[in-house]
Amino acid sequence: MSSYRVVCIGLGPIGIKAAELAAGKSCLEIVGAVDIAPDKVGRGLDKIVDGGPANVTVHDDIATCLRETKPDVAIHCTSSFLATVDGQLLQTVEAGVNVISSTEELLYPRLYHTEIADRIDAAAASSGVTVLGTGINPGFLMDALPGFATAVCYDVDKITCRRYVDASNRRGPFQKKIGAGMDEASFRELADAGKLGHIGLPQSIAMLGEACGFELDEIQQHTDPILANGEHKTDYVHITAGQVAGIHNTGFGKQDGQIRVEMDLRMYIGAENPIDEIVIEGNPDLTLQIPGGTHGDFATAAMLVNGIPRVVRGPAGLKTMLELPIPTLLR
């Protein structure tokens, strides 16, 4: 087994979890870290990341850090939006470093950002490195995994993915992100402004559509609040009946007016039957379930770290989860 030199770009909650996981893998060596938060820059990584190396100091500049550390791969966790991270990705790629990123829009970047995707793809191809956006959702549950499941079918008429998450035991920022504890009007105001809710559903729909061979001509998503019908208390928030308990994201992809891909994502405090479910209507029908569901934060960190060998050894360019071999557990 080869050993890979890793730089962690972005030390928010997911970036820290990924770094903690990477620090424990015998085939990975964390050689650098980048973040712009003043309370992180200049500190030893052991102060921020459980098990992180003390001799790695957090940089505030990507290019300098990469030049000094010469890593094989960057674990990139700074923002959900391509237009925010494209400069970071280009700097990394131009330094000859492979990228595995939690940026949700990078899962299927050509959906809304062809130009940025072309630029990153060209730079990656010319540097001979691979760029991949992944995670648990988007990246696995509502796109790559159901895509893989279609391989056992003769035909698929429609595919539906459901993810019901009990947010009670998730981190505070996550509970805030889903609007827990807000009143309905404030929730809708923020949701309409695009400041609330899950990022990546249209990208999952588009990628799964490609996996099924659909030519989707319409992709839509909606965000609604789920209101609490009783009292709930978590470490971070206290909700009374009628307040927002969380979020209901729905989405679909249509081809010629017919829904072919459908998504139903509910993340709220007090969800009673958490589950991940894929339902294929086709020949044959097929239902795949993960009872209890999958923990989002941990699983995204796992996807980022376990995916490293696929990205380091992958073909040069900007790739999707449909273009690389399946990631599996990295020891």
Interface residues toward a copy of itself, by CB under 8 A:
21, 136, 140, 144-145, 147-148, 150-156, 211-213, 284, 286-292, 294-295, 298-299, 301-303, 306-307, 321-331
Torsion of CA 105, 109, 114, 117, to 10 degrees: 110
One-character DSSP codes across 75-93 = EE-S-S-HHHHHHHHHHHH
Q: Would you say 5 or 295 has its CB closer to a copy of itself?
A: 295
**In the complex, minimum distance from the CB of residue 276 to a copy of itself, in angstroms, rounded to a whole number:** 9
**In the complex, minimum distance from the CB of residue 25 to a copy of itself, in angstroms, rounded to a whole number:** 10
Q: Are the C-beta atoms of residues 160 and 262 closer than 8 Å to each other?
A: yes
Q: Would you say 228 or 321 has its CB closer to a copy of itself?
A: 321
Q: Would you say 179 or 309 has its CB closer to a copy of itself?
A: 309
Q: Would you say 145 or 196 has its CB closer to a copy of itself?
A: 145
- Output Rg (C-alpha) for the chain, integer angstroms: 20
**In the complex, minimum distance from the CB of residue 246 to a copy of itself, in angstroms, rounded to a whole number:** 21
Q: Which helix (H) or strand (E) holds 70?
A: none
Q: Would you say 229 or 289 has its CB closer to a copy of itself?
A: 289
Q: Are the C-beta atoms of residues 246 and 178 closer than 8 Å to each other?
A: yes
Q: Would you say 145 or 216 has its CB closer to a copy of itself?
A: 145
**In the complex, minimum distance from the CB of residue 274 to a copy of itself, in angstroms, rounded to a whole number:** 12
**In the complex, minimum distance from the CB of residue 22 to a copy of itself, in angstroms, rounded to a whole number:** 11
**In the complex, minimum distance from the CB of residue 215 to a copy of itself, in angstroms, rounded to a whole number:** 10
The CA distance from 294 to 159, in Å, is 20
Q: Are the C-beta atoms of residues 304 and 18 closer than 8 Å to each other?
A: yes
List CB contacts of 149: < 8 A, sequence separation 6 or more. 278, 280, 286, 288
Q: What are phi and psi of 161, to 5 degrees?
A: -120, 130
Helix (H, G, I), strand (E, B) or coil at 141: coil
Between vectors from CA 202 to CA 100 and to CA 15, what angle results, nearest 5°?
A: 30
Q: Would you say 111 or 191 has its CB closer to a copy of itself?
A: 111
**In the complex, minimum distance from the CB of residue 301 to a copy of itself, in angstroms, rounded to a whole number:** 8
